[in-house]
Structure 1
Amino acid sequence: MGEEEAVAEENGGESGEQNSSWPTMRFDVSPYRTHHFSKQFRTARNPNNFLKGLKWSPDGSCFLASSEDNTLSLFHLPQDGGDSNGYGVPVPEEDSYGASLLVNEGESVYDFCWYPYMSVSDPLTCVFATSTRDHPIHLWDSTSGELRCTYRAYDAMDEITAAFSVGFNPDGTKIFAGYNSSIRVFDLHRPGRDFGQYSTLQKNKEGQAGILSTLAFSPTNSGMLAVGSYGQTTGIYREDNMELLYVLHGQEGGVTHVQFSKDGNYLYTGGRKDPYILCWDIRKSVEIVYKLYRATENTNQRVFFDIEPCGRHLATGGQDGLVHMYDLQTGNWVSGYQAASDTVNAFSFHPYLPMAATSSGHRRFAIPDDDDEDKKDLQLKADENCVSLWSFYVTSEENNTYDENNGVTSKSHLQNVTG
């Protein structure tokens, strides 16, 4: 059995078989835009405000977007899920609707994450954590916008130090936070300054050094944790005692995002000023399985990618405004579409609907000119610094069989199930 066949069987389920009870997203047909948000992110005080990332809530009821003005905006998904005509909407000048909640942080937001068991039917679980420059970790109520509690880490000078990355463990009982060459673990039910600290750099200078910028847990409850560093390395640890298992080298830039495959056997890592997402087999981490290209070789901006709920495909944005879809069984490019006219810095699949969300934008520097104040306003277009929701066409197993037997794809077989 070849390496690609092994990946096909273990990364994304058995090849050629799909769950007949769940429709399959079509990636050979470009998705259509259902909602768009841009105007509310720009104000007279900050006309060049841009998005830095977004994440769906675990229950899929809403998504959270982070912007450069230190604000997190929460948008609820409409009950119909999107427009019903199946053709999408053009980029409008006005937003589809306003944010349901705005959370203002005091400084730049480094990272944010949802509580893994968040459900809108249980208000106690509707929380998310944020890490902010020069601030402790905050736990926010996504229903009221109130600050639930804080988790404070201190340095050797007994001053508060900020986490660069934050994430809940799969059980939802602890908060793991990445600092400079150390991981701090907080008990979710014990806010304050109590935490366990684990150094990622040993006395013999072996291990993982640098700012720990991103972390992810294995979805199979195997007790494994992946931590990315701006030192161009990714460390694999045991969750219970933070024992370092091994370190992955190969990223050309600082690692900004890591994500496990749905079966937990593969790890995908991406870095800044690095045009490739690397695929690693964590069971034999001696070499890279394959590389996935994206246009990020000239930016320090963090660009988030995501894996679809079925685990078969990965999607990522880039500086060219394109979203690229890759088949994880083979590592081959499948399709792409133009999502924005600026850098697409985040792509996130909906947890269970055939939908996705993208955020775009980058920092702009206006040239001061006393003679013409209007030049300071760069007149941004609606499809530059924005958030868009996309719906994918889907097809059932019967339609797949029909298409294979006839060799054609009928548009009548494409379904929109977001409604």
Structure 2
Amino acid sequence: MGYAMSRLEIESELCNGGKTINEVATSQKSENTFCNLDHEIMQLTKLRSGPHKHLSQGVTGKWELPVSTVRMLMGREGNYSGRGRFSAADRCHMLSRYLPVNGPWLLDQMTSRAYVSQFSADGSLFVAGFQGSHIRIYNVERGWKVQKNILAKSLRWTVTDTSLSPDQRYLVYASMSPIVHIVDVGSAPTESLANVTEIHDGLDFSSDDDYSFGIFSVKFSTDGREIVAGSNNDSIYVYDLGANKLALRIRAHDSDVNTVCFADESGHLIYSGSDDNLCKVWDRRCFMAKGKPAGVLTGHLEGITFLDSRGDGRYFISNAKDQTIKLWDIRKMSANAFCPAGPRNDNWDYRWMDYPPHAREMKHPCDLSVATYKGHSVLETLIRCYFSPSYSTGQKYIYTGSHDSCVYIYDLITGAQVAVLNHHTSPVRDCSWHPYYPMFASSSWDGDVVVWEFPGRGEAPTPRTKKRIQSRHFY
């Protein structure tokens, strides 16, 4: 029935150098050849997720990683660091070895496909969006009680994206329409039926010369004053909530803009990814003068489905239809797309065709990426990828949904496939790692929203009773 227990797709033993069976062996090699990163981000990641140097030195004086939990606790009691407590890096070194892969337990089950599933920035709320016009907001700290049950207004095809404001007062949702709707999350009614029990105000992203398009991606700025959106008319839009009007339109790409995000807290830099295979960086401080991107990053052979920023204004990752995730450093970007990848296979369509086997080994002649991660599948829908949480892992992992119904977790530095979560029976479009707790949520086109934990509740899954989901193709 698809309720197999989660499992690490690596060999583990009950006792191996002080590590328990639930710890992650990051030294395992992936199926793909991957050289350790010889790059600045490797050092940054190790600084954020590595133990104190006195704890990592073995008897011979050489560094030994990972350091066992017992040794970490002994070091803290012995005040090795001189602080009498764990540092942030010590904490990440311990917590990152225990992945939330046990379970899962069933949170919700719908008769329509799940397109969005995301924790809020503080982890207190969880948002799930479904093709059948439903968006549910769960209060994680109150036993996952449904805080808001939203029935979307004027939905075209599906809920393509949602975004919570930084103060968690408002949620915006988008579909294949130029109107993005905004909902008051903090209002009293649990049931939020558009313009019946509550008003869902519409934010009009259209302009005089273009009023018929759909929006694939929408994100709040860190200060909550603006919303950035990517559309299927090759453009990026920035909406000013204070002025209640469209502030900027950028004719950004030569094809659909599937994904956009702010690079950091400043809001000056915007990353975008498109079906023209390019990732672009936009600096709003100089865009009006130059009218072009600050830089272009080439490397993908097919369209980009999702971007996630590391939050430092320097690094981000992208998922793409060439079945890879790539890690980027914007300091390597070029002024333009100077090197085309070669002729595209116009007969291939990721929505209903397998990726050609011979194309899996192809490489872009001017690949500017820092690293490439393979093993998952990006077909049928715009599958998403993310950095793991900074607080608990030091962002040492990358995770992604997959067309083969699984969730994949990769080691950022080694490229190793450290875990595969196997429960769903249809493509996993979105998934989310709790920012603080060892907790992970995934949603799928099978209608299930499930939660994985460490160590897990040990609860039996609820039998399925929902209707069969009809096969339909959506972006």
TM-score by length of 1: 0.71
CA distance, structure 2, for counterparts of residue 389 and residue 23 of structure 1? 23
Shift of 1:7: 2.7
CA distance, structure 1, for counterparts of residue 299 and residue 305 of structure 2? 14
Aligned residue in 2 for 1:309: 389
CA distance, structure 2, for counterparts of residue 168 and residue 101 of structure 1? 21
Aligned residue in 1 for 2:442: 358
CA distance, structure 1, for counterparts of residue 213 and residue 294 of structure 2? 27
Q: Secondary structure at the match of 2:42?
A: helix
Aligned residue in 2 for 1:323: 407
Q: Secondary structure at the match of 1:344?
A: coil
CA distance, structure 2, for counterparts of residue 76 and residue 295 of structure 1? 31
CA distance, structure 2, for counterparts of residue 5 and residue 161 of structure 1? 40
Go from structure 1 to structure 2 and tell me whether the alpha carbon gap of 1:329 and 1:262 turns closer, same or farther (over 3 Å shift): farther
State the percentage of identical aligned residues. Answer: 23
Q: Which of 143, 154, 168 lines up with 2:220 in the alignment?
A: 168
Aligned residue in 2 for 1:391: 453
Aligned residue in 2 for 1:4: 38
Gaps of 5+ in 1: 43-48, 82-96, 119-125, 201-207, 362-383, 395-419
Shift of 1:9: 0.9
Aligned residue in 1 for 2:368: 287
CA distance, structure 1, for counterparts of residue 286 and residue 226 of structure 2? 13
1:138 has 2:172 as partner? no
CA distance, structure 1, for counterparts of residue 275 and residue 167 of structure 2? 30
CA distance, structure 2, for counterparts of residue 194 and residue 306 of structure 1? 28
CA distance, structure 2, for counterparts of residue 185 and residue 222 of structure 1? 11
Shift of 1:392: 2.8
1:154 has 2:206 as partner? yes
Kindly report which structure 2 residues correspond to 1:29-178, keeping only aligned pairs within 5 A, or say none: 31-33=101-103, 35-39=105-109, 41-42=110-111, 49-79=112-142, 100-107=148-155, 108-118=158-168, 126-144=169-187, 145=192, 146-147=198-199, 149-156=201-208, 159=211, 161-178=213-230
Shift of 1:227: 0.6
Q: Secondary structure at the match of 1:283?
A: helix
Shift of 1:113: 1.1
CA distance, structure 2, for counterparts of residue 393 and residue 239 of structure 1? 45
Kindly report which structure 2 residues correspond to 1:21-36, keeping only aligned pairs within 5 A, or say none: 24-27=94-97, 31-33=101-103, 35-36=105-106
Shift of 1:157: 5.1
Amino acid in the other structure paired with 1:347? C
Measured against aligned partners, the alpha-carbon deviations of 1:66-118 in whole angstroms (never above 9, x if no partner) come to 1111221212214468xxxxxxxxxxxxxxx6674223232232222111232
Go from structure 1 to structure 2 and tell me whether the alpha carbon gap of 1:26 and 1:280 turns closer, same or farther (over 3 Å shift): closer
Amino acid in the other structure paired with 2:154? G
CA distance, structure 2, for counterparts of residue 194 and residue 98 of structure 1? 33
Shift of 1:222: 7.5
Q: Secondary structure at the match of 1:4?
A: coil
Kindly report which structure 2 residues correspond to 1:333-352, keeping only aligned pairs within 5 A, or say none: 333-352=417-436
Amino acid in the other structure paired with 1:392? F
Aligned residue in 1 for 2:306: 257
Shift of 1:236: 0.6
Aligned residue in 1 for 2:296: 247
Aligned residues: 332
Amino acid in the other structure paired with 1:360? S
CA distance, structure 1, for counterparts of residue 329 and residue 113 of structure 2? 35
Aligned residue in 2 for 1:217: 262
Go from structure 1 to structure 2 and tell me whether the alpha carbon gap of 1:153 and 1:385 turns closer, same or farther (over 3 Å shift): closer
Amino acid in the other structure paired with 2:377? T
1:269 has 2:321 as partner? no
CA distance, structure 1, for counterparts of residue 370 and residue 251 of structure 2? 29
Measured against aligned partners, the alpha-carbon deviations of 1:305-364 in whole angstroms (never above 9, x if no partner) come to 222212111111212222221111232222223132322221211122221110012xxx
Measured against aligned partners, the alpha-carbon deviations of 1:193-217 in whole angstroms (never above 9, x if no partner) come to 44322332xxxxxxx3212121112
Amino acid in the other structure paired with 2:115? K
CA distance, structure 2, for counterparts of residue 10 and residue 220 of structure 1? 19
Shift of 1:235: 0.8
Amino acid in the other structure paired with 1:150? G
Go from structure 1 to structure 2 and tell me whether the alpha carbon gap of 1:266 and 1:138 turns closer, same or farther (over 3 Å shift): same
CA distance, structure 2, for counterparts of residue 393 and residue 24 of structure 1? 14
Go from structure 1 to structure 2 and tell me whether the alpha carbon gap of 1:12 and 1:219 turns closer, same or farther (over 3 Å shift): farther
CA distance, structure 1, for counterparts of residue 209 and residue 317 of structure 2? 37
CA distance, structure 2, for counterparts of residue 134 and residue 316 of structure 1? 27
CA distance, structure 1, for counterparts of residue 211 and residue 381 of structure 2? 28
Amino acid in the other structure paired with 2:399? A
CA distance, structure 1, for counterparts of residue 264 and residue 454 of structure 2? 25
- The structure that is strand-richer by fraction is 1
Go from structure 1 to structure 2 and tell me whether the alpha carbon gap of 1:213 and 1:27 turns closer, same or farther (over 3 Å shift): same
Checking the alignment, whether the CA contact within 8 Å between 1:277 and 1:294 is kept in structure 2 is no
Checking the alignment, whether the CA contact within 8 Å between 2:261 and 2:308 is kept in structure 1 is yes
Aligned residue in 2 for 1:417: none
Gaps of 5+ in 2: 1-35, 52-86, 193-197, 334-366, 457-475
Shift of 1:231: 1.8
Checking the alignment, whether the CA contact within 8 Å between 1:269 and 1:279 is kept in structure 2 is yes
